[in-house]
Chain A
Amino acid sequence: MSSPMEHDRTCSMNEHGGRCELETNLEVLRKIPVFSGIPLQRLKLYAYLCKRVCYRTGEFIFRQGDSDDRGYILVSGRAQVVREYEDHSVFLNELREGEFFGGLALLSDINRLFSVKAATDVDCLTLDRESFRKMLIQFPEVGVKVLDLMIRRIVQMEEKLMRKHVHECMYG
């Protein structure tokens, strides 16, 4: 069996230029406000527990109403936040490199309130709820800090979305 033609679709993050995945993940996490305050030794563990995932243009990262147990950090590309209704959907926001989204699922088993769709090819770093909780149990002092920042971040984002939403309704 000969090898198929190589399509230019592999995860760009896999080209790590000789550095191990742990280090590249760590680099990403250090730039995210929610995680950047964590001492390096602990942050390494988050980097260890994170997984890389890639989406192609047009693919949904998650869909409104789905239950999903991951939080996402957008590493490269752009994605759209969309709220879906029975007969139409409303574009709410665009996510760019370095944004942390979907973090609510780390806190509780909820269904997604909105969909996120890849506008270009997208690479993400994800953390699942079990890992997040395990870290919370192991290092409560770090966990509480992360939790605090994360909730602020979620509230901020929701606020932004709400404002936008209201805005759309008024003029749309």
Chain B
Amino acid sequence: MVTQKSLFSWVLERCRGLQLLLFVMILFTVFFRVFPLEMQKRIVNIAIQSRNINALLTYCGLYIGAVVMAGILKYVINVLQGYIGQKILYEMRDQLYTHILSLPLSFFRRTPPGMVISSLTSELSGPGDFLGSALAVPIINLLTLITFAAYMVYLNPLLALLSFAIYPIEILIIPVLQKRYNQMNQDRINVTRGMSNAIGEAISGMHEIHGNASYPIENQRLERFAAKLFSLRHRMNKNKFLVKFINNFFQSLGPFILFLVGGYLSIKGRLDLGALVAFLSAYEKLYDPWKELMDYYQDLQDSKVRYYQVMNYFDRSPEFQLKPEGPREPYLLRGQIDITDLEFVVDGNIRILDRISLDVQPGEQLAVVGLSGSGKSTLAMVVGQLYSYTRGHVLLDGMELKTLTKLDVSHNIGYVAQRPFIFDDTLLENVLYARKSLNLSGNDNGPGMPDSNEVLRAIDEVGLTDDILRFGLNSMLERREQADLAQRIVGARQEFYRRWGVELAGDVEFFDVDRFLHYTNVAENISFGFPNRADWELEQLPNNRLFRKFLDEVELTVPLQDLGRQMAVETVSLLEDIQDDQFFFEMSPIPRDQFEAYSAIVERLSKGGGEQLTRKEQDAILKLALRFTSSKHKMAVLPSALERQIIEARHSFFEKIAAGDPGAFIFYHPDDYLYTHSIIENILFGHPKADRPRATEEVQKRVVDLLHEKNLFAAVMETGLSFQVGSMGDRLSGGQKQKIALARVLLKQPRILILDEATASLDNRSQTRVQELLKTELKGKSTLIAVVHRLELVKDYDQIIVMKAGKIVEMGQYEELLTRKGLFYELAHGA
């Protein structure tokens, strides 16, 4: 198992060829490091003393050659080391993540996500960097050290021994300091984990924090960790730099001894000057490998602590085998379930499931009911192999469930949790998730990926069609990729208007060039089109000189600035007490992050006249007016005279742009697709009125008919399926999430289907629909175990078990259980 590997086993097992290459290169660098020293000596002793220019040039050439070679080799070695380290880190992460994914669910109950994240990202990267140099650095530096030492002994044994004398002292002191450092490092990892967990928790509970404005509580919680971390880090630094200081100090003792003794010997003529120079150089050179060895030692200790801390944490075995040993296709079961004396015990002696025995024949449907806490969900999870069981037997087609691999189970069982998980991806990817996994798991004659008809059918069966249609109708098309579809929608638009234009005039505000649009902002009411370039976008308009000139010409500048001022004053006074909640800003023309700027403007306004405002502030006021949308912004009103003035300006704007800058806008034209608007707005060429709650419904009904007629329905559904659901599906409702999970499992067509209150968040209609599906479509095809909360849903099941405190207390069919007047009867009558 990956968690039991030692740190060095990674180095010894991986990239052996590269490491050998590294080793050879190291030998060469060592040679190229010592070689210049000998050249130095010869330059002084032979070339200079015998005044031999040729020799001087030769030795100097060799010297520079060796230095260059050493540099190049060092570069290659660094690159190689980095490569090996990252490669090992990559494999280490991969293997550890695979291992973590296979760990039992119970493990993750106690393990916060922050813990897993920090382990896999930051904590492992240290050891990874280290491993690249784990062999090379000690070898290279030890060899260099020994070589230099040998060279020094060769030059002068006495001086050499004297200068080596300081090293043993260091070797005694430093490990003591390091031990303290390691202890603090371990603490640091624990504190960092605590901190990641606190952050992770705060982020998943963000709604609770916002709801209670409990920012100070969370701040304090984090601050405790941060303060601890601060003090630990500080002490660790002190320790680390103390080691450095001691090291440096002893190093500089060397030259002191050398000058003292070497100088004396040189004066007495017992040592030639060249040898002394070479000796000093050699000693200086000793410093580098020694320092690197010291760093290596510190890194080694740090990496060991991090590595084993991580690995020990995840050192648990998976509960089930992932894949069959040896080449065997996953079993294909008939769906027979036999459970005898099943027990699930936690914390030593709490029996969540207590001697459960039951049989379900292939294709039969079993309902599990009972009060909450009776063990219904646990039973479902045990049969779904999400938990292992303590005693007893669960046989699927006569095979013990414990001995089946995850692959066997996933090919035969579909499990839908009460709160299913939705991934941050498109709707389609979420629906295909289970089926995709089946196909990836190496079964050659697997079901393959479903075609769009199959997907649409599954979606319809769970009642998701309307939701997806709505997503589709409300999404915008990409100009580059979907021009064809856009053109076909424009075709549908004309048909729609011809048929229902008159009838729906009260429900839809059509884009009519001669009318003011209340669902559109003032800027678009003026331009009656959408800009192609950034300098014509709303936020830039106050800086757009052409636009400003135009506003002056049509005499709109002053009335719009009046409107902007009124909006600013009203909005600021309305929202100044509740700036901390984004919710209140959804209908405000001033976004929350600009609130302070506008509040400053309002304050200046209240002190006296608009004259005091700077250019920039006046622009901000104008921008506010351009954002004004009648249907949305309640704090101001556009006088009808001004509306008429804007409609007139619209016409001359069109002429101006057509003449002066024809590419700047795409105008609302009945023959053009509006890429800044949703599909439904494009079909309507207008906006459904929000104050008519039935409008959307009535309009949509007609739109859907038209889509079917024009063969556009599938295309819109496809667009809807590419809707991004957001992190954990937070752009979806609880019911939509459950529907996705149901569609996901239907596409998998499992032999055994387990539903754990899987329809609890659905509206009545969808719930009935799913119930109908189970009764007809799936009847006989899949064995069904359904944990059901609402008892009126269990009438048609072949068998119902009633659970209480982990035991089955009643078993039978609906009528039978009612006449028994036991717990089921009580539950059914809400007693």
B634 with A18: CB separation less than 8 A = no
A96 to B639 Cα, complex, angstroms: 31
Q: Are B501 and A4 in contact (CB-based, < 8 A)?
A: yes
A18 touches B637 (CB 8 A): yes
Contact call A134/B763, Cβ cutoff below 8 A: no
Q: Which residues of B contact A65 (CB under 8 A)?
A: 764
Shortest CB distance B634–A (Å)? 4
Contacts A1-B512, A20-B636, A22-B570 given: A52-B506 contact, CB under 8 Å? Answer: no
Q: With contacts A1-B685, A48-B587 known, is A55 near B693, CB below 8 A?
A: yes
Distance between Cα atoms of A21 and B638 in the complex (Å): 11
Q: Is A138 a contact partner of B515 (Cβ separation < 8 A)?
A: no
Stretch at the interface among A7-15, A30-38, A161-169: A7-15
| Chain A residues closer than 8 Å to B502, beta-carbon distance | 4-5, 7
Q: Is A157 an interface residue (CB 8 A)?
A: no
Q: Return chain A residues, CB-CB under 8 Å to B515.
A: 3
The minimal Cβ–Cβ distance linking A110 to chain B, given in whole angstroms, is 14
Encoded as 1 (CB less than 8 Å from any A CB) or 0, chain B from 123 to 135 comes to 0000000000000
Q: Across the interface, do A3 and B634 meet the contact criterion of CB distance under 8 Å? A: no
Which B residues, 502 to 550, have Cβ-Cβ distances below 8 Å to chain A? Answer: 502, 505-506, 510, 512, 514-515
The stretch of B226-234, B443-451, B576-584, B752-760 that contacts the partner chain: B576-584
Contact B635 A22 (CB under 8 A): yes
Expressed in whole angstroms, the minimum distance between the Cβ of A134 and any Cβ of chain B is: 5
Q: Tell me the minimal C-beta distance from A81 to chain B in angstroms.
A: 18
Q: How far is the CA of A21 from the CA of B211 in the complex (A)?
A: 29
Q: Give Cα A39–Cα B514 distance, bound, in whole angstroms.
A: 43
User: Given the complex of chains A and B, what is the CA–CA distance between A98 and B694 in angstroms?
Assistant: 22
Question: Could you tell me if A18 and B510 are in contact, using CB atoms closer than 8 angstroms?
Answer: no
Interface check A45, CB cutoff 8 A: yes
- CB A28 to nearest CB in B, in angstroms, measures 13
When the two chains form the complex, which single residue of B583, B634, B764 contacts A134, counting CB atoms closer than 8 Å? Answer: B583
Most A CB contacts (10 A, CB to CB) among B515, B577, B634, B694 go to B634
Tell whether, in the assembled complex, residue B691 and residue A16 are in contact, meaning their CB atoms are under 8 Å apart: no
- Of A18, A21, A53, A138, the contact of B693 (CB 8 Å cutoff): A53
Q: Does B488 contact A (CB under 8 A)?
A: no
Known contacts A22-B635, A54-B691, A134-B581; decide if A7 and B570 are in contact (CB<8 Å): no
- Contact of A83 with B by CB under 8 A: no
B101 contacts partner chain A, Cβ-Cβ < 8 Å = no
Residues of B within 8 A of A138 (CB): 577-578, 581
Find out whether the CB atom of A44 lies under 8 angstroms from the CB atom of B691: no
B562 to chain A, nearest CB (A): 13
Residue pair A51, B635 in contact (C-beta under 8 Å): no
CB nearest neighbor in A for B571 = A48
B574 partner, pick from A19, A45, A51, beta carbons under 8 A:
A45
**What is the total of A-B residue contacts with beta carbons within 8 Å?**
81
How many Å from the CB of A24 to the closest CB on chain B? 9
Which A residues between 52 and 70 are near B, CB-CB below 8 angstroms? 52-56, 59, 65, 67
A144 proximal to B (CB < 8 A): no
Q: Would you call A148 an interface residue if the criterion is a C-beta within 8 Å of the partner chain's C-beta atoms?
A: no
In the docked arrangement, what's the CA distance between A52 and B631, Å? 10
- A48–B634 touching, CB < 8 Å: yes
Chain A residues whose C-beta falls within 8 Å of the C-beta of B691 in the assembled complex = 11, 13-14, 51-54
A5 near B211 with CB under 8 A, answer no
From A1, A9, A45, B506 is in contact (CB under 8 Å) with A9
The reply on A146 being an interface residue by CB < 8 A is: no
Where chain B touches its partner, the secondary structure class is: loop
Instruction: Please name all residues of chain B whose beta carbon is closer than 8 Å to the beta carbon of A20 when the two chains form the complex.
Output: 570, 634-637
Decide if A3 touches B510 in the complex (CB within 8 Å): yes
Tell whether, in the assembled complex, residue A25 and residue B584 are in contact, meaning their CB atoms are under 8 Å apart.
Answer: no
The residue that A59 contacts in the complex, of B501, B583, B694, with Cβ under 8 A, is B694
Q: Kindly state the separation between the CA atoms of A113 and B106 in the bound complex, as whole angstroms.
A: 43
A45 neighbours in B (Cβ, 8 Å): 574, 578, 584
- Inside 8 A of A6's CB, which chain B residues have their CB? 505
B63 at interface (Cβ–Cβ under 8 A)? no
For B570, the chain A residues whose CB sits under 8 A away are: 20, 22
Asked if B670 is at the interface (CB within 8 A of a chain A CB), the reply is yes
* Given A51-B690, A51-B691: A4 touches B637 (CB 8 Å cut-off): no
Q: Which residues of B contact A56 (CB under 8 A)?
A: 694
* Shortest CB distance A120–B (Å): 16
Instruction: Determine whether the beta carbon of A53 is less than 8 Å from that of B692.
Output: yes
Most buried by B among A4, A45, A130, A137: A4
Q: Is A79 an interface residue (CB 8 A)?
A: no
Q: Let me know if A47 is at the binding interface, CB within 8 A.
A: yes
- A54 with B584: CB separation less than 8 A: no
Report whether B505 and A5 are in contact in the complex, using a CB–CB cutoff of 8 Å: yes
Cα separation A65 to B212 with both chains bound (whole Å): 32
Task: Kindly name the residue among A10, A55, A65 whose own CB sees the greatest number of chain B CB atoms within 10 A.
Answer: A10
**List of A residues within 8 angstroms of B583 by Cβ:** 130-131, 134
Are B763 and A67 in contact (CB-based, < 8 A)? yes
B497: CB under 8 A from chain A? yes
| Residues of chain A contacted by B635 (CB below 8 angstroms) | 20, 22, 48
Nearest chain A CB to B239 CB, angstrom units: 49
| Nearest B-chain residue to A50, judged by Cβ | B634
Q: Which residues of the partner chain B approach A49 to less than 8 Å between Cβ atoms?
A: 584, 587
Contact in complex: A7, B505 (CB < 8 Å): yes
* C-alpha spacing A14/B764, complex, angstroms: 36
Measured CB to CB, the nearest residue on chain B to A62 is: B693
Chain B residue at minimal CB-CB distance from A47: B634
Nearest CB in chain A to that of B501: its residue:
A4
Q: Which residues of B contact A19 (CB under 8 A)?
A: 637
Residues of A within 8 A of B634 (CB): 20-22, 25, 47-48
**Whole-angstrom distance between the alpha carbons of A14 and B506 in the complex?**
12
Q: Per a CB cutoff under 8 Å, which of A9, A21, A130 touches B637?
A: A21
Q: How far is the CB of A125 from chain B (nearest CB, A)?
A: 10
Chain A positions within 8 Å of B510 at CB level = 1, 3-4
Give the shortest distance, in Å, between A143 (CB) and chain B (any CB).
13
* Chain A contacts for B514, CB-based, 8 A: 3
Q: Which residues of chain B from 674 to 697 have a CB within 8 Å of any chain A CB?
A: 685, 689-694
- Distance in angstroms between the alpha carbons of A121 and B635 in the assembled complex: 26
Query: Considering the chains assembled together, what is the distance between the CA atoms of A5 and B636 in angstroms?
Result: 29
Complexed CA–CA distance, A131 and B86 (Å) = 52
The docked-state distance in angstroms from the alpha carbon of A45 to that of B514 is 34
Distance of A11 Cα from B509 Cα, bound (Å): 13
Q: Which residue of A lies closest to B511 (CB)?
A: A1
- Shortest C-beta distance, A52 to chain B (Å), equals 5
- A-B contacts besides A4-B501, A44-B574, 13 pairs, CB < 8 Å: A11-B692, A20-B635, A20-B637, A22-B574, A22-B635, A25-B634, A45-B574, A47-B634, A48-B635, A49-B584, A52-B691, A55-B694, A137-B212
9 contacts between A and B (CB under 8 A): A1-B501, A9-B506, A11-B692, A21-B637, A25-B634, A52-B691, A53-B692, A131-B583, A134-B584
Write the residues of chain A forming the contact surface with B, with a CB cutoff of 8 angstroms: 1, 3-7, 9-11, 13-14, 16, 18-22, 25, 44-45, 47-49, 51-56, 59, 65, 67, 130-131, 134, 137-138
6 interchain residue pairs of minimum CB distance: A9-B506, A21-B634, A20-B637, A22-B634, A4-B505, A4-B502
- B residues contacting A by CB (< 8 A) are 211-213, 497, 501-502, 505-506, 510, 512, 514-515, 570, 574, 577-578, 581, 583-584, 587, 634-637, 639, 670, 685, 689-694, 763-764
